[in-house]
Amino acid sequence: MRFLSYFILFILLFSGCENSHDLKNLAKKLEDEKKQSIKNVSVEKKVPSKEPEKKVKVLVNKEPEKKEIKKAITDLNLTTLFDKTISLKFSEDGISFKNYPNKIVILDVFTTWCPPCLESIPHMIKLQKKYKKSLQIIGVLHEDKIKKSFALAFKKKHHINYPLTIGKNNFVLTENWGGVSGYPTIIIFDKSGKYFNHYNGSPPFEMLQSDIKKILRKR
């Protein structure tokens, strides 16, 4: 704007405007226009408005309440496919198996329709054969409507060399233990019946064998 004022004055001087009074009036007029333009610009500036604060909801995931067992038991009998009884006694740190004293016991809680269960069966067969003097595997069928004839055919088809239990007490066993979250659920107890380890799913043969060797090394 200042440059424009000087430029106009320069033109007027050289175009015949010799009256100083006129020049002063023109200069004043230009200066007033400059101030007015600055004022207009300052008025037109937008003042940024403050956005209202957004409220963020924080969701807190509460842990599910632990399911308490209304009727805890201490003794339980499981029934095999050949109508033999396997007697269990619950304790604070595990389960003692009266039929298999001084033996490592593996409970394999499984179903006949579960692919990972089928994957784990060959491992169990191999372990039972390899460590038959110090290990006993028990297959716990977790199907309430399974027919005994079907279970016997399943055992024969897969060449299972360890007992399979059937019936409602299988569910009493898992409920009293604390439930199962999937199949298979494999629970390992040492020779004294103390809980040693467990797996949800089908672990590799080497992992199961490693657990057995660790127990056998214990004095």
Query: Would you list the domain boundaries of the chain?
Result: 2-41, 75-217
Comparing 18-32, 65-79, 109-123, which segment has the lowest mean pLDDT? 18-32
Residue 99 scores a pLDDT above 90 = yes
- Which long-range contacts does 45-48 make (Cβ < 8 Å, 24+ apart)? none
Helix (H) or strand (E) holding 88: strand 85-91
Could you report how far apart the first and last alpha carbons of the chain are, in Å? Answer: 100
Helix (H) or strand (E) holding 216: helix 205-217
Q: For the whole model, what pTM was predicted?
A: 0.68
Please write the tens of the pLDDT for every residue from 102-157. 999 999 999 999 999 999 999 999 999 999 999 999 999 999 999 999 999 999 99
- Our separate counts of H helices and E strands in the chain read 6, 8
Nearest-angstrom CA–CA distance, 20 and 23: 5
DSSP state letters, 180-213: -SSS-EEEEE-TTSBEEEEEES---HHHHHHHHH
For 191-217, what is the mean pLDDT? 97
- Domain made up of 75-217: CATH architecture: 3-Layer(aba) Sandwich (3.40)
Which phi and psi angles does 55 have, rounded to 5°? -90, 125
Nearest-angstrom CA–CA distance, 54 and 56: 6
Residue 7 scores a pLDDT above 80 = no
